[in-house]
Every structure is written in C-alpha cells, then in structure tokens.
Structure 1
Amino acid sequence: MAFDSLSEKLQNVFKNLRSKGRLTEADVKAALKEVKMALLEADVNFKVVKQFVKSVQERAIGADVMNGLNPGQMVIKIVNEEMIKMMGSETTELKLRPGQATTIIMMVGLQGAGKTTTTAKLAGKFKLKGKKPLLVACDVYRPAAIQQLQVNGEKQGVEVFTMGDGHKPVNIAKAAVEHAAKNGNNVVILDTAGRLHVDEDMMDELIEIKENVDVAQTVLVVDAMTGQDAVNVASTFDEKIGIDGVILTKLDGDTRGGAALSIRAVTGKPILYAGMGEKLSDLEQFYPERMASRILGMGDVLTLIEKAQAEMDDEKAAEMEKRFRKAEFTFNDYLDSMSQMKKMGGFANVLSMMPGIGGAQMKQIEDAMDEKKMARIEAIIYSMTPAERGDPNLINPSRKRRIAAGAGVDISEVNRLVKQFEQARKMMKQMPGMMGKGKRGGKFGNFKFPF
C-alpha cells in the first residue's frame, strides 16, 4: 500500500513511546519530531505537517495526558484523531439528485491519472446501488479513449454514449443528457479529456460544458503517485472550474501517499474514493478513520469484512463453514479460499488491512506466501484427481509421485503441502470456537482465511 514506509516509521515511534512508563514533555517533542520527518518524507504538504504537529503537541502535553496511567497510548490516540481530522473527519458521499431526477457528474483530471477507468469503476458502483448510469465519451483527443470507455462499460454492464471523435465535447454532453432523459438513465457520467498538464484550452472546454449542461458534481481524478503535484493540481482545478470532491488513484502502488493526507487540508475538498488496483471493482469508498487506522498499523477490519461479504456467495460460505467446524474441508475448499483471496485483491492487500501487520513483518509473510508459491500450490492441487481433492486421505506415496510429476515439482513439495493441510485440519478440530457466531456466519461475517 501507498503508506507502507510511513506506517513502518510511525509504528517505530509509537513502539518507543509505549515502552516508557512515564512521559516527559521532552519525550513527546522528540517523538513528534520523528513524526514530522516521517510525514515530510511521505510528501505531505509542509504547512499541513506543521499544523498537524502543533495540534498534536498542544493536546499531548496537557496535564490529563502527561499524568495519565498510560500517556504513550494517549499520545497515539491523539495522533490518530488529528490524522482523521486532517483527512476530513466524515466520509463524504457523491450527492445524487432525489428520486428519478438525473444527476450529471463531470469527471476531470490530467492525462494518465486513470480517469477513464475510474469513470467506469464509478458507474459500476452506481449500478450496484440500483441506479441506471450512462457513461459519456467526451474525450475526443486521446487515441482509443472512446474504445477504452466502451470496453470497460461493457464489462460493467453499463451503456456508453458516444458520437465518435468528430464532434465538440460540449455537443456530445448535451446530446447525452437528452438521450438519458428519453431512456431513463438517472446518473450521467461525463468522461472529459485530460492533458499532460493544466492548460487554458482544457479549462475553457470544461467551463463550456458546465455552462451548457446542468452538472451536479465535478469530480477530480488525481494520481496518488504524483505526491505534492496531486495537491497542486487539485488546487488549480478547484480555482479554475470548481470541484466537489477528489478520487485518488493508484493508492495501492509504491507511492509515499502524501496526497491523501494533504488534499483535504489544502483544498477543503473531500476525498470520495480511493483506487486500490487495476480491476474494475478496485474502487473503495474513502473512510478517513479507516485510512488513519491503516497508516498507524491498527488495520482496517471493517473494509476487509465488506470486501469479503461482497465477494462471497452466502450458501457456499455457510456450507464451507460447516465443513471448517467439523474439520472436513478438502483441497477443493483450499482452491475456493485461494480464489476468494485473489478476488479481494490478493494476499498482500488482505494483509495490509490486518491489525499489527506492517513493515518488516508484512515483508516476511509476503515472502512466505508470494504469488509464485501460491501458483505452485494451485498446480499441485490441480494435478490431483477429483477424488483426491475431495478426500485427501486417498493420497498415498505412489499418488504423491504422480501428482508431483503432473505439477512439475519435487515430491518434497507435495509432501509439505499435504502435511500443512493435515495440520490445518487438526488445528481447526482443536479450536472449534475460533470461527465465532456472528450474525452472518463466522466472527468475521462470511470471510474465510486461507489455511
């Protein structure tokens, strides 16, 4: 995730704070100096960092904190609260017009930020909420932009309105609104053209669209990997045409993440969604408190549960849970579990939301469960017969040799997998209470961890 480096540095600072029985004012100031450096290295806006550290320090050196039973934890709590405030204390939804009234959303941003893909992702979100969105191809300049929107729209099952590249964007937008009125589309999303940098032609075009079409929401798409530039772009767009919110893309990449921590504080505009991957489902609602929790190494179990519930089939989950409780799960369940993990963004993505896992520990687990190893495990299981996958007790030495040959691996790898599988079954048998009794099945809703 974008904040891995920042998260690891902050966790080290907090580890030192927790280890002290009592805190002095000097301890707090020294810790906040390290926090300040970590935020600046993450490319958080300097003025934002300065105000953040000042706010934390004023609260942290108060008598109620310094004389408390656990001042270290109190300081961490204050840092968490101030970080949430910095990103905007409340989650902001895109405002849709009531009833069947058509809401027109104009997507804007620089070229390369992932605007067209994000536009299709957003349409998918509205479709899931029972809306009938219409995607509109207003980018008549970038080669293949129209085709890209059509392909993604088809994948999402959302209609795409296009007039080709021979018309002015403002005329395409006006025609699309008329089409939506005739066909019952209650959300119209305009995919406008970007440029490599902010220029007058682009701004004039966007202003012209807003003057001729009743745009309800203007959403800026920015690339989180551009750091401070993303904040500058947001400020410029807001000043020139006015924006209602921001979608941050590539927040799953190797980026310092400063944009997410700066945009709200600098522009006053909320972050609406975060793009966390390349799949059309990889668009998460932006929750400031959950993001702060991830950055500070406290995990994000709520998002994890929501992802799991969105991907899991209820009947299949209930049946799998019964087998888990009785320690009757098979290699078929193993494959199902691995498939589910992939749908949720992969092992690393799930790990990033688990409390207390980050930095070096995350790297160790990722190394142990890297994609190549997971692929070899799948190859071994697929080399088994259906009977062997359904009843692992059938797998004797001669069958193991055949499975190893079929998967192209050494027999020791097959032995290791079968042994680990048996250990997992024993563990489940010994710990029947670990699944809990939540209202949707297990302790974590319908989520099942792979063995």
Structure 2
Amino acid sequence: MFDNLSDKLDKAFHILKGHGKITEVNVADTLKEVRRALLDADVNFKIAKDFTTKVKEKAIGENVLTTLQPGQLMVKLVKDELTELMGGDAAGINLSGAPTVILMSGLQGSGKTTFSGKLANFLKTKKNKKPLLVACDIYRPAAINQLHVVGGQIGVEVYSEEGNKNPVEIAQNAIKYAKANGFNVVIVDTAGRLAVDEEMMNEIANVHKAIEPHETLFVVDAMTGQDAVNTAKAFNDRLNFDGVILTKLDGDTRGGAAISIKSVVDKPIKFIGTGEKMEAIDVFYPNRMAERILGMGDVVSLVERAQEQYDEEEARKLQKKIAKNEFGFDDFLSQIQQVKKMGNMKDLVGMIPGAGKALKDVEIEDDAFKHIEAIIHSMTPVERTKPAILDAKRKTRIAKGSGTSIQQVNQLLKQFDQMSKMMKMMQGGGGKNLMRMMGGMKGMRP
C-alpha cells in the first residue's frame, strides 16, 4: 500500500539527515522532494503545493526539540499535516434510522457491489445489525446475480424484483419489506456507469430524493488516482453525499485519491477496501494511514485485527497445553488459521513498523502458509500430537505426501520446536495473545 510514495518520501527526509538544525535552505530542498513525491502519487498540484507550504511554515517556526533530530521533526510535521489533509479524525457511520437506509453510489467497476456486501458483513458481524441488501442495478442482470452471490457468502438476504425497471420503486418496496421483516439496515446498491453522464446522475438523484437515505456513500477505485477525485466532485455536486469509500487499496495504488479527496469534496473517507475477501474492510483512520505512508506501520490496527480473532476459551485451553508441554501441530494449525483470517499477508506485514521497508522487494503471497499446512496435513493424528516420534522414515513419507522436501519438513520441525519453547517461556504473559504468537511465526515459510 503506497510503497512507491513511501520510498520517495523516505528519500526526501534523507536530505536532512546529519544536519544539526532546520534551516530555510534544507527545508526547501526536502519539501521540494516531498512535493515531487506527492505529484508522482497523482495528488493535485495545488493541494501538493499548499501542503508543503504549510509544512514549511511550521518547520521554520519550530525549535528543534533536544530529543529529535531535524529529520525526525520533519517526519512528524509531514505526518501531522497528512493526517489533517486526509480528514483528521475517523468518521463514523450514521446508524440512527429504523431502519437505517444506506445508498451506495459510484462508477461501474469501482467495486460498489462487492463493497455493499463487505459493508453488510461488517455491520452484521461487528455492529450486531440485521442488514438487507437491495439490488437496484436494473441494467445489468449480472450485477443482481453478483449481489445474490455475495449475500449468500455472508448470510445476508438480498431484495430484488425481477422485471421491474424502476429503481425508485424497487428501493421504496425494499424499505417497506425491511420494516415488515425486522431488518434494521437497508443497503441499496445502485447502477454504475463507465463515465459520469446526465441520465445516470438524474436516476440516482431521483432514488436519493425518494428514499431519503441516512447515509449516502460514494465508492471509488483508489487506483484511478486524480480521476477518482474529479469523479467524486461531480457526484458530490449532485448528491451531496456523506462519505467516501476507497476500494482496491491493496493494489499498486499511487495514493493520490486517499490523500486529496477529502480536501476537494470536504467529505470524509469512512471505509477502505483492502482485499477481495468479504472481511477485507477497514474503518479509515487518517492518523494510522499517514503513519503507514511514512513507513511507521500501524500496530494499533494490527492488534485490533488480532483481538477480533481472539477466543478467550480457546486461549485458556491452549495455555493449559503449553503448561503441560502438549502444544502440538493441530494447535499450531489452528493459530495459522486465525492469522489468515486477519487479512492478506502483505497488508499485515505493512502494519509492522519497519517491516514494509525491510521486505519491500519480497513478494508475500496470501498462501504463504500453504507448504506448512500441506506438511501438517500429511502427518497422522498421532504425529501431530507427538512430533518427537517423527523419525527419518516418517519424515520421508510426510515430504512425499505434502509435495515438499525432507529439508523443508526438518526446517518446520526445528521452527516449531523453537516456537514451543518461546511460548513456554512467555507463559507468565499468557500464551493467549495472538500477536506474540505471530512473532514466533516470522520466517516460517519453508
């Protein structure tokens, strides 16, 4: 996420490295590179220029703290200004209605239908809501089918009307259906287009006027850069939407949309999409995003994701096994599954301070654990419980069964042994914190 921008900003800050104080000259040189990095990330020129001007004014007026080097101070100033530029504080979603009506808008291909499902899943699993998805894209049967597939994946009902070509009627009928059947959130997925056109804008404006949604959200593909910002402005002029959804932030995005969209439309980014899975949705925190852009990681979000997968009862059972030296490969496999539920591996690594920079040229796949899982699945139940019985003959069988080598099997056994010892040592702290377990998994790909 924003790897290219992060690298260029890091190089810009190196100009101040070794300087004892901030001067107008070294600040000007640094901010010239910062502005260039922002422009390369497809940030609007005026926004980039205003941004660096504000940072310069603050930098020249600052007395360098004794605990900070000039380079560190500049990073802090840029982080604070980036945070402010992206909205300052996280913006919540209005769920006050009975039911709450959420209207989704955006261009075709922005990921609107998929994100409607992600939002429904988020509200269902994290806000204890009963959402209803509504298919109002009357032009593409595939869109209606897609929404039904998405709804089936997450266990959320989808309302659609075969043969009805009036999206206003469909949306109004869906709200009546929701009230009659105990749904407390209605998410209306509308039609998208390949470009902003008057017909489309009139149609969604009519839907908006008829159902008076509590939240109107604009979904935009972050990879389209400045075009996304311009499109958001066109929609906002007509709909006066409440917030922005940035999708596909897990791709090779330049970051321009995330950085400048708030400044252009004066509406907050509320959620971001970080992958293809239905769980790949995050509340947008400007401060955390600024830290990630500057290579500082995002430990808070990482811990939050770990806590979501944390099961207190399972942790107690695991703790007892560790105390009795009974931690086996079935338990280890269970921990891997929990880590995988936290999101794609590249995104998780990017949340660890310094790890993103250290591993920037390393391709981290979502199936990073597949060899480990294959080896464990090739073991018998007894072997998983008692790894000590794995002799050369058993290892050969396991290697053949998992499509790996004996060296890979031995490597996993060695790392598993090291991890077991580590977990035993930290028994006082619990063995129940998934984050600590992740530390023992570093480099465990055979």
The TM-score, its normalising length taken from structure 2, stands at 0.92
Segment of structure 1 superposing worse, 371-380 or 237-246: 371-380
In structure 2, relative to structure 1, the CA distance for the partners of 1:168 and 1:446 (3 Å cut) is farther
Q: Could you tell me whether the CA contact under 8 Å between 2:423 and 2:437 is conserved in 1? A: no
Residues 31-53 of structure 1 show CA distances to partners (whole Å, capped at 9, x for unaligned) of 11111111111111211111110
Match of 1:377 in 2: 372
Segment of structure 1 superposing worse, 34-43 or 153-162: 153-162
1:332 aligns with 2:326: no
Question: 146, 149, 157: which one pairs with 1:148?
Answer: 146
In structure 2, relative to structure 1, the CA distance for the partners of 1:443 and 1:139 (3 Å cut) is closer
Q: Could you tell me whether the CA contact under 8 Å between 2:87 and 2:268 is conserved in 1? A: yes
Offset at 1:421?
2.3
In structure 2, relative to structure 1, the CA distance for the partners of 1:122 and 1:443 (3 Å cut) is closer
Question: 101, 113, 120: which one pairs with 1:104?
Answer: 101
In structure 2, relative to structure 1, the CA distance for the partners of 1:6 and 1:97 (3 Å cut) is same
Offset at 1:322?
5.0
Match of 1:61 in 2: 60
Aligned counterparts of 1:287 and 1:295: Cα–Cα separation in 2:
12
Match of 1:13 in 2: 12
Segment of structure 1 superposing worse, 120-129 or 51-60: 120-129
Aligned counterparts of 2:432 and 2:417: Cα–Cα separation in 1:
24
Aligned counterparts of 2:79 and 2:329: Cα–Cα separation in 1:
42
Spell out the pairing of 1:161-176 with structure 2 (5 A cutoff).
161-176=159-174
Aligned counterparts of 1:23 and 1:326: Cα–Cα separation in 2:
58
Match of 2:388 in 1: 393
Aligned counterparts of 1:207 and 1:97: Cα–Cα separation in 2:
22
Aligned counterparts of 1:183 and 1:257: Cα–Cα separation in 2:
42
Name the SS of the counterpart of 2:88 in structure 1.
coil
1:92 aligns with 2:91: yes
1:432 aligns with 2:426: yes
Q: Could you tell me whether the CA contact under 8 Å between 2:242 and 2:267 is conserved in 1? A: yes
Spell out the pairing of 1:36-51 with structure 2 (5 A cutoff).
36-51=35-50
Counterpart AA for 2:122: K
Counterpart AA for 1:400: K
Q: Could you tell me whether the CA contact under 8 Å between 1:244 and 1:269 is conserved in 2? A: yes
Name the SS of the counterpart of 1:363 in structure 2.
coil
Aligned length: 441
Match of 1:417 in 2: 412
Q: Could you tell me whether the CA contact under 8 Å between 2:102 and 2:216 is conserved in 1? A: yes
Match of 1:22 in 2: 21
In structure 2, relative to structure 1, the CA distance for the partners of 1:161 and 1:4 (3 Å cut) is same
Offset at 1:22?
3.2
Offset at 1:426?
3.8
Offset at 1:184?
2.6
Spell out the pairing of 1:300-379 with structure 2 (5 A cutoff).
300-323=298-321, 328-359=326-357, 361-363=358-360, 366-367=362-363, 370=365, 374-379=369-374
In structure 2, relative to structure 1, the CA distance for the partners of 1:163 and 1:258 (3 Å cut) is same
Match of 1:4 in 2: 3
Aligned counterparts of 2:369 and 2:59: Cα–Cα separation in 1:
46
1:238 aligns with 2:229: no
Q: RMSD over aligned Cα, in angstroms?
A: 2.4
Match of 1:125 in 2: 122
Offset at 1:410?
2.5
Aligned counterparts of 2:128 and 2:418: Cα–Cα separation in 1:
45
Sequence identity of aligned pairs in percent? 50
Structure 2: state its 5+ residue gaps: none
In structure 2, relative to structure 1, the CA distance for the partners of 1:136 and 1:418 (3 Å cut) is same
Counterpart AA for 1:126: L
In structure 2, relative to structure 1, the CA distance for the partners of 1:259 and 1:63 (3 Å cut) is closer
Q: Could you tell me whether the CA contact under 8 Å between 1:337 and 1:449 is conserved in 2? A: no
Name the SS of the counterpart of 1:61 in structure 2.
helix
Counterpart AA for 1:422: D
Name the SS of the counterpart of 2:29 in structure 1.
helix
Counterpart AA for 2:123: F
Aligned counterparts of 1:68 and 1:305: Cα–Cα separation in 2:
28
Q: Could you tell me whether the CA contact under 8 Å between 2:306 and 2:434 is conserved in 1? A: no
In structure 2, relative to structure 1, the CA distance for the partners of 1:168 and 1:363 (3 Å cut) is same
Residues 313-340 of structure 1 show CA distances to partners (whole Å, capped at 9, x for unaligned) of 3222333355557765322233223222
Aligned counterparts of 2:19 and 2:152: Cα–Cα separation in 1:
58
Aligned counterparts of 1:22 and 1:147: Cα–Cα separation in 2:
62
Counterpart AA for 2:222: A
Segment of structure 1 superposing worse, 222-231 or 131-140: 131-140
Offset at 1:234?
0.3
Aligned counterparts of 2:356 and 2:438: Cα–Cα separation in 1:
21
Residues 291-333 of structure 1 show CA distances to partners (whole Å, capped at 9, x for unaligned) of 1111111111111112112223322233335555776532223
Name the SS of the counterpart of 1:104 in structure 2.
strand
Q: Could you tell me whether the CA contact under 8 Å between 2:91 and 2:269 is conserved in 1? A: yes
In structure 2, relative to structure 1, the CA distance for the partners of 1:197 and 1:321 (3 Å cut) is farther
Question: 377, 381, 406: which one pairs with 2:401?
Answer: 406
Q: Could you tell me whether the CA contact under 8 Å between 1:106 and 1:191 is conserved in 2? A: yes
In structure 2, relative to structure 1, the CA distance for the partners of 1:111 and 1:329 (3 Å cut) is same
Match of 2:197 in 1: 199
Offset at 1:19?
4.0
Aligned counterparts of 1:283 and 1:417: Cα–Cα separation in 2:
32
Aligned counterparts of 2:416 and 2:436: Cα–Cα separation in 1:
24
Counterpart AA for 1:297: G
Offset at 1:165?
4.1
Residues 406-425 of structure 1 show CA distances to partners (whole Å, capped at 9, x for unaligned) of 22332222222222322333
Aligned counterparts of 1:349 and 1:225: Cα–Cα separation in 2:
16
